[in-house]
Amino acid sequence: MNKLNIETIKQDKVTIDVQDIAEGIKIVVAGDIDMQDPSTLLDPLFDKVHNGAVSSGFKIVELDVTQLNFLNSSGIKAIAKWIMKLATVDAGKKYLIKIIQNKAIAWQATSLQTLTFLVPGSVNVV
């Protein structure tokens, strides 16, 4: 189990696994997110990650989407909502969101970079 005690999620066509990394935590999302309301799945997860990252003093939260073949706009909204939480976190408690992309997947090349503009300096896409 990881530092935040978040269990692996398998729902519909997506699997989400949370793993420990040296300076924080890594969220690995694989499959397709195209359900009607992904927020029911993603909002509680990102809330837990965000609150845990801030209270534990994590420096980095990685989001690995290299195996996420499709993400609908409602799913993008959920990620944007998570990122926007960083706008109200004190500088000393902020963590960096590092999004690990797969450039061969079309939507990732465009949508992921757009996420970096939401809270400048808080999101890197690699």
Partner 1 sequence: MEITNSLGFIEIKFGPRWKYIAVVRAFIQNFIAVSYSDNIRADKIAMAASELLENAVKYAQGEETLVKLQLLPETESIMVSVTNRANLEAIKGLQEIWEKVMQGDPLQAYITQMQLAATRTDSKSQLGLVRIRYETGADMKLDVQGDMVTISLTQSPK
User: For partner 1, which residue of 23, 37, 93, 124 counts as binding (CB under 8 A)?
Assistant: 37
36 is an interface residue for partner 1 by CB under 8 A: yes
Tokens of 47: 């809330």
32 is an interface residue for partner 1 by CB under 8 A: yes
Tokens of 107: 């939507």
Computed over its alpha carbons, how large is the radius of gyration of the chain?
Answer: 13
User: For partner 1, which residue of 10, 51, 56, 84 counts as binding (CB under 8 A)?
Assistant: 84
Nearer to partner 1, 1 or 104 (CB): 104
Q: Give the dihedral of Cα atoms 105, 86, 9, 41; nearest 10 deg.
A: -90
89 is an interface residue for partner 1 by CB under 8 A: no
Nearer to partner 1, 56 or 113 (CB): 113
Nearest to 29 by CA among 77, 73, 79, 81: 79
Q: What distance in Å separates the CA atoms of residue 34 and residue 63, rounded to the nearest whole number?
A: 18
Residues that bind partner 1 in the complex, under the rule CB under 8 A: 13, 32, 34-37, 39, 70, 72-74, 76-77, 80-81, 83-84, 105-107, 109-111, 114-115, 117-118
